[in-house]
Amino acid sequence: MKNKVLALVAASALAISTMAPAMAADDTPLGSVGALMGATSAVIVDVPEGILWHSLWNCPLKTTQYLAEAFGDSNGLGQNLVGGALGIPAGFLWGIPYGAIAGGRHGMTVGWDKPFSTESYLVMGDEK
- In order, the DSSP letters of 39-106 are HHHHHHHHHHHHHHHIIIIIHHHHHHHHHHHHTT-TT-HHHHHHHHHHHHHHHHHHHHHHHHHHHHHH
pLDDT in tens, 83-99: 999 999 999 999 999 99
Picking from 73, 94, 93, the residue whose alpha carbon sits closest to that of residue 83 is 73
pLDDT at position 28: 46
With a CB cutoff of 8 Å and minimum separation 6, the contacts of 92 are 55, 56, 59, 60
Domain range for 111 is 31-121
pLDDT-derived band at 22, boundaries 50, 70, 90: low
- Does a structural domain hold residue 11? no
What is the count of structural domains for the chain? 1
Q: Are 24 and 35 in contact (CB under 8 A)?
A: yes
Burial 38-59 (b: 16+ CB within 10 A, else e): bbebbbebbbebbbbbbbbebb
- Does a structural domain hold residue 15? no
pLDDT in tens, 44-82: 999 999 999 999 999 999 999 999 999 998 899 999 999
pLDDT at position 78: 93
